[in-house]
């Protein structure tokens, strides 16, 4: 049993080294969702505010990028 666990850990460690990341895309687009709950101890009800937004990222190279967050009112 100990041998099979050790062998499994070695295989996992070696395979994680061989997996490479793909080339970074120039433009990335994403959607964001958020929720904020405000709790006031003096009131029995809580106030929850949902929010939606998005983001656009332009990658100049693998190290430098510009990101813009969009949130409608």
Pairwise CA distance, residues 24 & 31, whole Å: 19
Residue in 68, 34, 70 with CA at minimum distance from that of residue 54: 70
Which residue pairs, CB below 8 angstroms and at least 24 apart, start in 5-9? none
Contact 19, 35 (CB under 8 A): no
pTM here is 0.50
What pLDDT, on the 0 to 100 scale, is given for residue 15?
A: 65
pLDDT mean by block of 10 residues, the chain; 73 residues: 79 63 81 88 82 92 89 75
- Six token digits for residue 30: 């994403």
- Six token digits for residue 72: 């409608």
What pLDDT, on the 0 to 100 scale, is given for residue 13?
A: 73
């Amino acid at each position: 049993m100990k041998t099979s666990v050790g062998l499994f850990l070695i295989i996992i460690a070696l395979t994680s080294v061989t997996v490479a990341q793909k080339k970074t895309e120039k433009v990335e687009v994403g959607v964001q969702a958020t929720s904020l709950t405000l709790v006031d101890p003096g009131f029995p009800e809580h106030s929850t505010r949902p929010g939606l937004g998005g983001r656009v990222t332009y990658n100049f190279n693998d190290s430098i990028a510009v990101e813009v967050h969009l949130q409608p009112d």
